[in-house]
Structure formats: structure tokens, C-alpha cells
A and B are shown apart, each in its own frame.
Chain A
Amino acid sequence: MLEDSGFVDIVIGPSVDTFGGAGGESKARLFEVFGYPFLARKPG
């Protein structure tokens, strides 16, 4: 979707266990939900 929106040079960083130890952990585990940093550039 980032590419479709005109972004290039897309980088996805390492996952983070965002919900580990939090109330939403069980749901996060169920769907393998993790946090990620993203980097992208607008051409020009």
C-alpha cells in the first residue's frame, strides 16, 4: 500500500513484542501481532 501511495525505498525494521505482558497479550499472540518501525521516502 505504501508503494501504491507513491512511496519508495521502503524499509521495515525488527519486530517488537508490543503487547507482551499487557492485557492484550493473548489476543496479540492469537494473531501474531507485533509492532514494527517503517521508513519510506517520497520521490523527488
Chain B
Amino acid sequence: MSVDAPGVVAVDVHALREEVKNKYREVAIDPHGAHHFHTGRYLARHLGYDDTLVASLPDAAVESFAGVANPFSLRPLSKGERVVDVGSGAGFDSFVAAHQVGATGQVVGVDMTEEMLAKSRSTVSKLGLKNVEFREGLAEQLPVEDGWADVVISNGVINLCADKRATFSEIHRVLRPGGRLQFADIANGKPVPESAIRNIDLWTA
């Protein structure tokens, strides 16, 4: 299926998802491999995450982190808040969120890549966290009920969604009235040629 409408990039949506899954499967399995972006503890420090908190997390929670900025930098989360992490990967931002919302809060991470879900779920089990869970799903079809979340976070994920309008609409659906969207993503200052946008290989290159 190819889509071409406002907020929707004309690419084969399913092919793009598979390309993204393949890329992030690599990041889950081989986080220190040759990727075009930084990963792990170096990246977390580069993006300004709290050193002490990051140091307290096990390698499995941090090494596959591949975010693009810090979604907590403009506003930290509050105790007791309910959080959805869209494209949670191996769980790094979900674990940071869990620390900020505390035991009375709740974090639901959503990801479509099996290897990332296996890694994040394993870390939850090892850490014995009761306020974090990871669900399989798509950014455009979040497995979360209407109005459940106080906050939705995401990091470097929405730029990889072909239908950004559908993604923002879905995030709006799961937020309660007055809820916040705190996300980090990339933006380009110079226009990318249409031919490059249509080349799926370049989305994750």
C-alpha cells in the first residue's frame, strides 16, 4: 500500500515498516555494531540524560538506546503519572519515565520489533519493576484505551512513520484531556528531495 496525502509520505507503508523493523532488530541484537547513529550510554550522556540515573540502569536497558534528543528536557514527569512510550525499543526512555513517575505511576511501552520487546521485557523482569509493561503494537494503532495517559513520550520514532498525521491523531486519542505529548525527533533545515523521500532504503540509512 502506498499513500500520498497531507502529512503522509508516498512510500509503501508495509515495506517501510519492515525496513525499520530490520534496522532496529540489528540495534537490539548488535547495539555496538556499525550504525549511522550513536547508541547506548555515550548517546544518553550526549543528549543530556541524568548520569546517575543512567548509571543505575543495566546494560540491556541502555545499550540499544538510539534516541535523537531528550523528551524529558522541557518538563520532567510527575509522581503518579500514567505514561505511554511510543516506539519504546529496548525500553530506555520507559525506564527513565518509570523512575520519574515512581511506584504510584505506570508506564506502557509500545513497540513493533519483536527483538526489542524481548529485550525490554527481560529487563523489566530482571529489575522486578511492577509499574512498567511493554506491549506489541504500531504507533498508528496504539494498544491503549482512550484517554488513559497523562503523558505520551516518544524518541526518534515519529520521523520513521509514513503517516505522521495518523500517529499524532492516535497519540491524541490515548491522552486524557489536559494530557501532554513530550517527544524528541529530528527535523531538517534543508528540504530533502522527493526522490530521496520515496527511497525507503534512505529512511534508515
Contact = CB atoms under 8 A, between A and B. Distances in A.
Interface in A1-44: 1-2, 4-7, 11, 13, 16, 18-19, 21-24, 27, 30-44
Given A5-B172, A19-B37, A37 B179 contact: no
Interface of B: 7, 34-38, 46-48, 67-71, 73-75, 156, 164-165, 168-169, 171-172, 175-192, 205
Given A16-B68, A18-B37, 14 more contacts: A1-B168, A4-B7, A4-B165, A5-B168, A7-B181, A18-B38, A18-B68, A22-B35, A24-B37, A27-B36, A31-B191, A34-B189, A35-B186, A42-B178
30 contacts: A1-B7, A4-B7, A7-B172, A13-B73, A13-B74, A16-B68, A16-B69, A18-B38, A18-B47, A18-B68, A19-B37, A22-B35, A22-B37, A24-B37, A27-B36, A31-B190, A31-B192, A34-B186, A34-B189, A35-B67, A35-B68, A36-B185, A37-B71, A37-B74, A37-B184, A38-B182, A39-B75, A42-B178, A43-B177, A44-B179
Contacts of B180: 39-42
Contact of A33 (B71, B182, B183, B186): B186
Contacts of B37: 18-19, 22-24
B45 to A, nearest CB: 12
A19 B42 CA distance: 12
The A interface, classified by DSSP as helix, strand, loop or mixed, is loop
Contacts of A22: 35-38
